Structure 1
Amino acid sequence: MAQNPSETELVLLKALWASGRLSAREVHDATEARTGWSFSATRKTLERMEAKGLVKVEPVHGVKTFVPTKGKLEVMARLIQNFASRVLDCETPLPAAAFTGSRVIEPGEVDELEALLERLSEEDKP
């Protein structure tokens, strides 16, 4: 199972989720304003993300492209559940409705996120 992304890895994942598949250069161009990184730092982070199982490499016409291995909602649900458990010490899932103002979670995705949070909560019970 892939590890949870760090805060900076999440920035790169958001660019990949928005586009589906990008080269390292395209990821860098999409995230440079937010990260302030050099191209080599973006490329190195993508390599670490591949080693962690967060992205996979798929060559397209000889160009190395990166594709997320997990969907946006699956990763978001896991991060939300981890936060609720570790930080808030909650035993019940946070309501997905709390994230309706998010720029990442589309309005039509709230119900799916709610179901994922409920499933993760059930899996975490002893």
Structure 2
Amino acid sequence: MSIPSMSELSLLKALWKEHPLSAREIHERVASELDWSFSSTRKTLERMLDKAMVSQSSRHGVLVYQAELEKVGTLAAFAHDFGRRVMEIDTPLPVSMFTGSKLVDKNELDALERLLQDWPTDAQEGQ
């Protein structure tokens, strides 16, 4: 799975919370976090379309976007990558680091814990 960049993750989080959204609506939801122009949001959405991270459709004559990356799997991949590359941790990350998150509910937290515990080792990932 391709791990989204921080800016791509911001757009995905907006779409996981509410979808579908137009580019303008997405921009309004991430504007304070990313502090960039509307054209940057549109360009990032275009790149995400190319990577199949989002899909685009027309609703009432307006182009709208929907996340194609599943939230829990994407967060698990992001957390695993962070633990391995940034923190140099070779063991599964504790799910307690996600406790209190506004992004995941109890069921998603349980699924995230299972994914993190069952993550393949680096040797298996390269196969």
Range of TM-score over shorter length? 0.7 to 0.9
- List per-residue Cα deviations over 1:31-54 (Å, max 9, x = no partner): 112222221111111111111221
SS in 1 for 2:65: strand
Equivalenced residues, count: 124
Residue 94 of structure 1 deviates from its aligned partner by 0.7
Give TM-score scaled by structure 2 length.
Answer: 0.86
Q: Quick check: 1:20 aligned with 2:25?
A: no
The aligned counterpart of 1:86 is 85
1:100 touches 1:106 (CA, 8 Å); kept in 2?
A: no
**1: CA distance, partners of 2:35 / 2:85:** 30
The aligned counterpart of 1:105 is 104
Identify the range of structure 1 (86-95 vs 20-29) with the bigger mean alpha-carbon deviation.
Answer: 86-95
Residue 125 of structure 1 deviates from its aligned partner by 4.4
**1: CA distance, partners of 2:80 / 2:58:** 34
- 1:1-126 matches, cutoff 5 A: 1=1, 3-119=2-118, 121-122=119-120, 124-126=122-124
**1: CA distance, partners of 2:38 / 2:112:** 33
Give TM-score scaled by structure 1 length.
Answer: 0.86
**2: CA distance, partners of 1:65 / 1:90:** 39
Letter aligned with residue 102 of structure 2: R
CA RMSD of aligned residues (A): 1.7
SS in 1 for 2:120: helix
Aligned-residue sequence identity (percent) comes to 44
